[in-house]
Chains A and B, each alone.
Chain A
Amino acid sequence: MFLNQFLFLAAILFCIGIYGVLTRKNGVLVLMSIELILNSVNINLVAFGAYHQHIAGQVFALFVIAVAAAEVGVGLAIVLLIYRNRRSINVAEANLLKG
């Protein structure tokens, strides 16, 4: 088994996701980047599951997909509301919690 390759792929995806989250100003793109992060985790789970000959990894991956779907639903609803209120989805402008 080539576990390294999968882990390497997952690490690259994770880093791209992090980069996207930290640099994008568009709220939808941020959500998409989070999706990348989650999927990198999925790859890890499936890879380890296969490596260990155990079904648990795939089961967890399914759960993560379901949770990710829900998370995107909530996230998009938030983005939609921000847009309605501000006519923009720039997350840099949403700084009401500034102390």
Chain B
Amino acid sequence: MGIVFVLAAEEAVANSWFYENAWLIPALPAASFVLILFFGKRLPFKGAELGIAAVGTAFVLAVLTTFTWIGDIQAGGESEEEHSLIVDGGETVAVALTAEEGEEGHGATRGAPIVTEVEWFGIGTDANRVTLGSEANVSEGAAATEDHGEEAVAAEDDHSEDDEAHATESLASKFSVPIGTIVDGQSVMLLFVVTFISFLVHVYSTEYVKGDRRFTHYFAFLSLFTAAMLFMVLSSSTLQLIVGWELVGVCSFVLIGHWWEEKPNSDAALKAFFTNRVGDVGILVGMSILYFAADRSFSITTINEMAVSGAIEQRTLLIAGLCLMAAVMSKSGQFILHTWLPDAMAGPTPVSALIHAATMVVAGVYLIGRMYAVFFVGFGMDGGTLNAMAFIGGLTTVGGGLLAFVQNDIKKVLAYSTVSQLGYMVLALGVGAYTAGMFHLFTHAFFKACLFLGAGSLSHACHHSFDMKAEMGGLRKKMPITFATFVIGSLALAGIPPLAGFWSKDEILAGAGVWPGTDGNGTFTIPFIFGVITAALTAAYMTRTIWLVFFGEYRGHSHPHESPPVMSIPLVVLAFMAVTVGFLNMPGPFVSSIGLPEGWAHRFEDWVEPAGISTFPGIAHANPSLTLAIFATLCAVGAATLVWLYYRRLYALDPKATEYSADTNGLASRIAPLAVGHTILEKKYYLDHLYTDIIAGGAKGPVARAVNWSDQNILDGVVDTVGKTAVVVGRFVYRFIDQGAIDGTVNNSGRTADSIGQILRGIQTGQVRQYATLLFGAAAGLVGVFILFV
């Protein structure tokens, strides 16, 4: 079996346990899924405790892995010697993942991915392995994968001296699919985020879905969802990544449709699933292209390495990248496939938090990061001005931000905000600002989870409604903890310094390389403009949300109260993270200017972004700019202030109003173009109409008619003919064979037996003497015969 042991030099060996056993992290929630499904209902807490325990343990493992990783990075020097060894039945192949010298500013190589793999399945095994490996080794591997593999291997063994080269070239000898884990900065970061958020969501859910009829089922799938995301994050091969990707999709389908009894909920689940299917075609095609381009390899490290070294043509990478981009668009809710995301709010709120913060939607962004070499080289980000990824990201970030304005449902505001922020991440990755994109993913996870769980807390208090206009307002006094955490989350989202969102957003804007003195990978003017607009939009719509929910007069009909601690404590934890995580990646000049030690600067970048290794493109780092930071912050604050003033004035006119009406003379009623814009936004750019009415509706009529025609004429014709023939044949068989031959034989034999019996009956008189007479008569007759003829 091709077990790949990863050995880093000296000290690292002692710590490598966490790297080699990273598979435990997804395995734990997966095991808990099975256990909850089978035994959950009999447990005292209906399976919730199993899920919490499994995810909690996974979180502890993830934290330990994170610290091991950070320790190795900080150790620094040793990493130069770090290399992976493939130990395989005595054969040792050194894979130089970190061979190249560092070309970046931060010194030597660091952050090389550590791959631990076993063979998943394969057809035939590597010819070299046969000649060099021991016989037992070979047969074990072959028997596990293929029935007649052993024979084939034995046959190859005989001739391998002669045509070893030929065997190596053939497809069969190369087709081996490994399954394994990849541990590097990016996956470690996501392991931490996913397990952390998932743990809090599990805890929070015990209260939120208490008494639900499918409580156990809910926790089982929450576990599976977490496991699927962790599995995807740790994938070392593209095939494995696709499996994880689809698993995430299925789990989101199940959880969005948790309350499927109501039609809109099951519709939303289907919409999420189908929209993702559109993108899944992209990932299949893209990965297939890469598989063949990378000389038939599923290995992510190999593909990245070949992309960096130029072994794969740039045009091939561009096509593969565009295909993968389609997958990213559907999974990460990018324009124009984002439409499922707001509908996914039909699921329970903690699920929304999980989907939007840690799992599912970040899968797409993660994919870009994982295959970054493909995108970076394919889209020609080095020195570029615009590319598909940056443009889609920019369009999404503004489009989503605008849509968030017209939503009355607090969860939909947050959903569009997620769309917008995901656009930001994709934009960052599109302009070559890898760390900025990943850092935004990281910070966004915390404050968006905080906001979603806050929205859940609000709805828990307000009749399970999410309608800001009808059921909320003036809640700041009634729900102080929710209010405080929600505001912190919003400020972080809006990018107000010094909260988390500010640092990541600022880095993205700098990464576009437009602002004087930033010097990114290129000059991405259009994405930069989109980014600045969104910075303002974000602040504005969050101000609107906070006003509608927490200020003004209460418009609902219940008596809102603060949520229990099991819900509010996760909120506080997340709010704390939303305040602090931004400090992980402060720019160097800022750190030195306020007198902090040098080591505090761009730590996240050191930990997450690899440098000087062969599997990661050599990307340029934009310089931070103080003027840009001030400008972006002013945009955000200015927009927020405008919205605030707007609602202050409205409040003065009517304390319970939520919008300007014809009487109060709002902007939209006065200015016609604004009214048109408002309508377009309310109709969500008519994309749903385009999909359901025009594309699906246009296609389904002709398709249905064609199918009906073929059904009536071809299928029914065949079926009818078969049926009619069968009837004719049946009649013939019945009349002639069954009735004539078979029944005739049976009846006649019966009749014959009967008539013979009737004749013989006369002899049977019951008189013993008569029988004796017959006996003796017969004997005498026989004697006569013998005497006469013998």
Contacts and interface: CB of A to CB of B under 8 A. Distances in A.
Q: Do A and B come from the same complex?
A: yes
Interface in B733-777: 760-769, 772-773, 776
Contacts of B765: 95, 98-99
Contacts of A99: 760-766
Nearest to A25: B769
Contacts of B766: 94-99
Nearest to B764: A99
A38 interface: no
B776 to A, nearest CB: 6
B387 to A, nearest CB: 107
Interface in B772-788: 772-773, 776
B769 A22 contact: yes
A21 interface: yes
Contact of B773 (A22, A30, A92, A94): A22
A97 B762 CA distance: 12
Interface string A84-99: 0000000110111111
Contacts of A23: 769
A18 interface: yes
Contacts of A30: 768-769
Nearest to B761: A99
A95 B773 contact: no
B766 to A, nearest CB: 3
Contacts of A22: 769, 772-773, 776
B769 A98 contact: no
A98 B767 CA distance: 8
Interface residues of A, number: 13
A21 B773 CA distance: 9
A95 B767 contact: yes
Given A18-B776, A21-B772, A92 B761 contact: no
Contacts of A91: 767-769
Interface in A54-97: 91-92, 94-97
A81 B766 CA distance: 17
Contact of A98 (B760, B764, B773, B776): B764
Nearest to A21: B772
A34 B134 CA distance: 93
Interface string A1-27: 000000000000000001001110000
A32 to B, nearest CB: 14
Nearest to B763: A99
Contacts of A95: 765-767
Contacts of A18: 776
A73 to B, nearest CB: 18
B416 to A, nearest CB: 100
A83 to B, nearest CB: 15
Contacts of B772: 21-22
A93 to B, nearest CB: 10
A81 B773 CA distance: 24
Interface string B416-441: 00000000000000000000000000
Contacts of B767: 91-92, 95
Contacts of A21: 769, 772, 776
Contact of A92 (B760, B763, B764, B769): B769
A88 to B, nearest CB: 14
A96 B765 CA distance: 9
Nearest to B771: A97
Nearest to A37: B776
A21 B772 CA distance: 8
Contacts of A94: 766, 768
Contacts of B761: 99
A90 B762 CA distance: 22
Contacts of B776: 18, 21-22
Contacts of A97: 764, 766
A99 B768 CA distance: 13
A94 B769 CA distance: 11
A10 B769 CA distance: 22
A21 B537 CA distance: 129
Contacts of B768: 30, 91, 94
* Most chain A CB inside 10 Å of its own CB: which residue of B760, B761, B769, B776: B769
Nearest to B779: A18
A5 B334 CA distance: 130
Interface string A35-59: 0000000000000000000000000
A96 B768 CA distance: 10
A28 B501 CA distance: 126
A2 B400 CA distance: 138
B764 to A, nearest CB: 3
A23 B773 CA distance: 10
Indicate the member of B767, B773, B776 with the most A CB atoms within 10 Å. B767
B765 to A, nearest CB: 6
A22 B770 CA distance: 7
Nearest to A97: B766
Contacts of A96: 766
A22 B769 CA distance: 5
Contacts of B773: 22
B756 to A, nearest CB: 13
A79 to B, nearest CB: 12
B654 to A, nearest CB: 115
A40 B76 CA distance: 127
Nearest to B776: A18
A21 B774 CA distance: 12
Interface string B596-624: 00000000000000000000000000000
A95 B768 CA distance: 8
A8 B760 CA distance: 37
A82 B768 CA distance: 13
B296 to A, nearest CB: 89
A69 B773 CA distance: 24
Nearest to A27: B768
A38 to B, nearest CB: 14
Nearest to A99: B764
A23, A92, A99: residue with the most chain B Cβ atoms closer than 10 Å: A99
Given A21-B776, A91-B768, A96-B766, 4 more contacts: A22-B772, A97-B766, A98-B765, A98-B766
6 contacts: A21-B769, A22-B769, A92-B767, A94-B766, A95-B767, A99-B766
- The 7 tightest CB contacts between A and B, nearest first, are A99-B764, A95-B766, A98-B766, A97-B766, A99-B761, A91-B768, A21-B772
